[in-house]
Chain A
Amino acid sequence: MTLRALALLPLLIASAWAQTLQQAESFRSAARYQEASTAFRVLVAANPKNPEYRVRWGRLFLERFNKEEAANLFQEALEIKKDYAPALLGLALVAADGFDTRAVELAEKALAADPKLTEAHELMARLALEDSNPKRAVEQADKALAISPKALDAMAVRASVDWLADKADSPWMDRILDINPKYGEAYADVGHFFVLNRRYEEGIKYYRKAIELDPRLWAARAQLGVNLMRLGEEVEAKRHLELCYENGHRDAATVNTLRLMDSYKNFLTYKTDNTIVKLHKKEAELLHPYVESELKRAIATFEKKYKVKLDRPVQVEVYPDHEDFAVRTMGMPGLGALGVTFGYVVAMDSPSGRKPGSFHWASTLWHELSHVFVLSATHHRVPRWFTEGLAVHEETAVSPEWGDRLDPQVISAIKNKKLLPVAELDRGFIRPSYPNQVVVSYFQAGRICDYIAEHWGFGKLLAMMDDFSRSEPTAQVIEKELGIKPEEFDKRFLAKLEAQTKGVIDGFDDWRKKLKQVSDLAKAGKHDEVIPLALAIRDVYPDYVEAGSAYEFLADAYAAKKNNTAAIEELERFARAGGRSPVVLKRLATMLEEAGRKRDASAALERLNYIAPNDDELHRRLGGLWLGEGNTAGAIREYTAVLAMKPMDLAASHFNLAKAYRQGKQITEAKDQLLLALEAAPGFRPAQKMLLELSP
């Protein structure tokens, strides 16, 4: 090789690399992702000190649903070049995808490193709008547009802000389409914001427009499918999702939603004039009567209370497998872990999907039904905090025992002044800044609604709901309906809350220490010492009804001292305080029964129908008690529930139901059940006896 040739070598190599980068991006544009990735791999291997190639490769991974690998590459780029703006932006995009609060911080860092990074401003605009801060969203979008007048995603944010505020004459989408008539991503962005605001039907409308412009916009089509499915439009949803899947768009939402839809063959659907209940075959027969009757009760109550008449049936889907339920909430920030409402469709966990006592399904159902009414009444124009707050308020309104209790996370948040101002409370749901902030925000929102109802009357909550339906912001609504500034509201609310919780907040550390002492004394069988100490701490934190509560220790100690009356009193306090342990509530029922208080015993057991109904012993006992009380319809329901659980003792179960039917003078049904009992056990004497009595 000549010297000249050697001198030309770097240029030749550079040319080759440039061609490879171009190839990589071409592959990517042509959706040939594997080849694109291979090309990037070659580039990175040949240029280990080049941060740009790693960032570009990372963006490819991000596009192809691999956030972890994308983040690794962005980090590697930052190790090569500190504060490399595109890498910081890449990390911000990863964080934003998971509604991680660090997204804003990382985008700000990217802008600090490169103030002219248009995409970072666009991201900041998007994040602000996700946080329900349209003013800031507009500011950031305008900054992007100042740098690049053709920043299409910034314009899409501006269009979203306008349309979310019902400004029909927004110019932004026309401007986008003038620049790029096929830019469906803009409509997909708008769809995203509408879905985040629970305006699913409008979100679906925009996703449809997105794929009309670009039928190969698979991400938008997938979201269209997911949201159609959320609204119960399963046939069309499946068509879109399958098309995405077949074309290689296999993100978690698409794949998991398709899997969930496949599992629907295992579900049974029950319809009435105003309800649709979807239950898994394995528990449908058991749960159907309970879920449907509670659903109807809630609808009737809310129609009267909210003065709203629903224009279509409410669909409730109950999932025994929590993972199936979780698919419903994918890509939605801050949604409750137990239930979720999409317009007129409610998806929730089944009581069988959780440890008995850890989940009050009826409370969740009422919570979600409140959302159905609020979303319907406001046409989905309601801040998250308000609809959640009202739903939490309703849990306790239906029964003081039903709502969630004050838990240590909330105590800690109050103590450390971590509650948010009412005007910013949505942030606690959408982009929590500390662990459990979503839980704390639910609590705070609920207490705010309690406070408003108590001091201004429930009518004010309805008036606020009406204001929200016109997209009025929280601060304005508070001032208009309550006559005070939001800051003043926060001050008064916090003063009230702190006064209510002062005892537990001040005494929490001491309570915890003493509860441990009580536990040790109980283990040592020192009942005489347990009683005064447990009594001293019980009312410091009366909401503590989890395992090892003061109530249980006291009941044990009293029972050991043969003072069953006092033991019963403690267990009744436990129940009134919202205790949900099936073991403890059954124990209370047994003690009440032994004390001759059968009506109270059945009331104790009835609580469990709302908590852990997958329990044949519960239904058998409650059926027996109700039969004795003359509640024949109740007994029939309970004994039917036993049979729905496919009990081992088939003969006795049919016989019990026969007894209930006989008491209800439904002789034909009673005889049918007797035959079934005797078919299982022909020599079953009590059944034989009744058969003779019922036969001429």
Chain B
Amino acid sequence: MACSTGATVPSANVERVFPDKPLAASVTGYVNFGKRALAAFFGLAIALAGGPALHAATYYVTVGGLGGEPEFETRFSNWAKEVDKLVKAAPESKVETFEGGAATRANLRASLEKIAKDSTPADALVLLLLGHGTFDGLDYKMNLPGPDITADELASLLGKVRARQLVVNTTSSSGGAISTLRRDGRVIVSATKSGTEKNATVFARYWIEALRDPAADTDKNETVSALEAFRYAEQKTAQFYETQKRLSTEHAVLEDTGKGEGVKAPSPENGYGLVASTFPLLRLGAAAKAAANPAKQKLLATREDLEQQIDRLKYQKAATPAEEYRKKLGVLLLDLARVQEELDK
């Protein structure tokens, strides 16, 4: 995503952005130019939506649940520890990780209740559930040492948190929790599309890989968004089953509309992915540094203008002769590179 304007655009969701920005032309573009234009529109919308204020905190709560067998105990625990290490390295991160005997319902409740008190709307919360889950047709539960925690209970706890939220449920049967957890503005990533996919999942492995593999940051803005991580993990999971010649027993989905069942491939066409694309899961570099320097505000404005021109050009790609497109794109990219060079000095 292109959220380099994050410092100057306040935390915004879809409802706030659309009336403020001249996007009507984009809709016309969709009608005129079809899918490619819509994709460009989506990119432009994301750029305008921006990310949260850079000084805001991100709360990471990770739970490595009950394994049942030594192999799974070790796996969930190791995953939780790895995530803990990765997110602690991120700027402005506030991390709580529960694994082994500490991954209890009481500890998780206490943690979420505290975040509900401490966090502000500018903050973000990433709740990552690693382990086994069950679904009896009505209720989803995550298996924890001692009493399990239900989807209803999680929804209630999360409902008190004012920060933007990303819930990553990688457990088996996690799809059974989607309808309970979904809410406007909340991003839900689920390793399975329904509660009936009951086998242990591999999605978590690739979600964690997305946190450390620079390839996950496909727009190279030094921030891995929830959408980028989802696409990375979903694709890797599918590849895993394909290359192993195994029947896929999990189908990951993303839900961020507040009312859907989640989809495998979020896109402007199906209306999924917009909130997830603006949710910064992990900042990889020092993208924020320049924004903090008032002397560089003019350059930043120029950069933002160039980025928007590039987005508009990409949006018109289908309707522009190839050579003309290439020439214009080359000029804009070169200008952008020069501005960035100045910013980096």
Contacts and interface: CB of A to CB of B under 8 A. Distances in A.
Interface of A: 354-356, 614-615, 647-652, 671, 675, 678-685, 687-689, 691-692, 695
A648 B333 contact: no
Interface stretch (B155-163, B212-220, B257-265): B212-220
B136 to A, nearest CB: 35
B78 to A, nearest CB: 16
7 contacts: A356-B243, A647-B215, A649-B214, A652-B220, A682-B336, A684-B220, A688-B341
Given A683-B220, A692-B334, A648 B2 contact: no
Given A355-B244, A652-B215, A688-B340, A675 B333 contact: yes
Contact of A680 (B219, B244, B338): B219
A682 B214 CA distance: 16
Given A682-B336, A683-B336, A692-B334, A651 B329 contact: no
A687 B214 CA distance: 15
B277 to A, nearest CB: 14
Interface string B10-35: 00000000000000000000000000
Interface string B230-261: 01100100000001110000000000000000
Contact of A683 (B4, B214, B216, B338): B4
B115 to A, nearest CB: 31
Given A683-B336, A692-B337, A648 B232 contact: yes
A675 B326 contact: yes
A355 B244 CA distance: 6
A682 B244 contact: no
Contacts of A679: 314, 329, 333
A687 B244 CA distance: 35
Contacts of B119: none
Contact of B221 (A354, A652, A683, A692): A683
B219 A651 contact: yes
B197 interface: no
A536 B307 CA distance: 65
Contacts of B338: 692
Given A355-B245, A675-B330, A683-B307, A649 B337 contact: no
A283 to B, nearest CB: 12
Contacts of B245: 354-355
Interface string B327-345: 0011001101110110010
Contacts of B235: 648
B149 interface: no
B46 interface: no
Contacts of B337: 678, 688-689, 691-692
Contacts of A614: 243
With a 10 A CB-CB cut-off, give which of A671, A680, A683 has the most chain B CB atoms: A683
B275 interface: no
B167 interface: no
B62 to A, nearest CB: 24
Contacts of A647: 215
Given A354-B245, A355-B244, A683 B219 contact: yes
Nearest to B47: A682
Contacts of A675: 326, 329-330, 333
A615 B231 CA distance: 18
A678 B333 contact: yes
Contacts of B330: 671, 675
A650 B215 CA distance: 9
With a 10 A CB-CB cut-off, give which of A647, A682, A687, A689 has the most chain B CB atoms: A682
B214 A652 contact: yes
B182 to A, nearest CB: 26
Contacts of B2: 682-683
B168 interface: no
Contacts of A678: 333, 336-337
A684 B337 CA distance: 9
Nearest to B313: A679
Contact of A688 (B221, B310, B336): B336
B341 to A, nearest CB: 6
A678 B214 CA distance: 16
A458 to B, nearest CB: 39
Contact of A692 (B215, B220, B341): B341
Contacts of A684: 219-220
A290 to B, nearest CB: 18
Contacts of A680: 218-219
A695 B218 CA distance: 25
A59 B40 CA distance: 66
Contacts of B333: 675, 678-679, 682, 688, 691
A681 B224 CA distance: 13
B215 A648 contact: yes
A695 B334 contact: yes
A682 B307 contact: yes
B84 to A, nearest CB: 24
B68 to A, nearest CB: 19
Given A649-B214, A685-B344, 6 more contacts: A648-B216, A652-B215, A681-B221, A682-B2, A688-B341, A691-B337
A680 B218 CA distance: 8
A584 B337 CA distance: 41
A319 B326 CA distance: 37
A242 to B, nearest CB: 34
A651 B307 contact: no
With a 10 A CB-CB cut-off, give which of B244, B334, B338 has the most chain A CB atoms: B334
Contacts of B336: 678, 682-683, 688
B215 A649 contact: yes
Interface in B305-328: 306-307, 310, 314, 326
With a 10 A CB-CB cut-off, give which of A355, A675, A679, A689 has the most chain B CB atoms: A679
A687 B340 CA distance: 11
Nearest to B307: A682
A648 B243 CA distance: 17
A683 B291 CA distance: 15
A681 B220 contact: yes
A680 B338 CA distance: 18
A671 B326 CA distance: 11
Contacts of A691: 333-334, 337
Contacts of B231: 648
B243 A355 contact: yes
Given A355-B243, A355-B245, A648-B218, A683 B329 contact: no
7 interchain residue pairs of minimum CB distance: A688-B337, A649-B215, A684-B220, A681-B220, A678-B333, A681-B219, A355-B245
A433 to B, nearest CB: 31
A485 B202 CA distance: 61
Nearest to B234: A648
Contacts of A649: 214-218
A684 B245 CA distance: 36
A683 B244 contact: no
A650 B232 CA distance: 12
Contacts of B232: 648
A652 B216 CA distance: 10
A313 B58 CA distance: 63
A683 B311 CA distance: 12
Nearest to B219: A681
A683 B340 contact: yes
B265 to A, nearest CB: 13
Contact of A651 (B220, B243, B341): B220
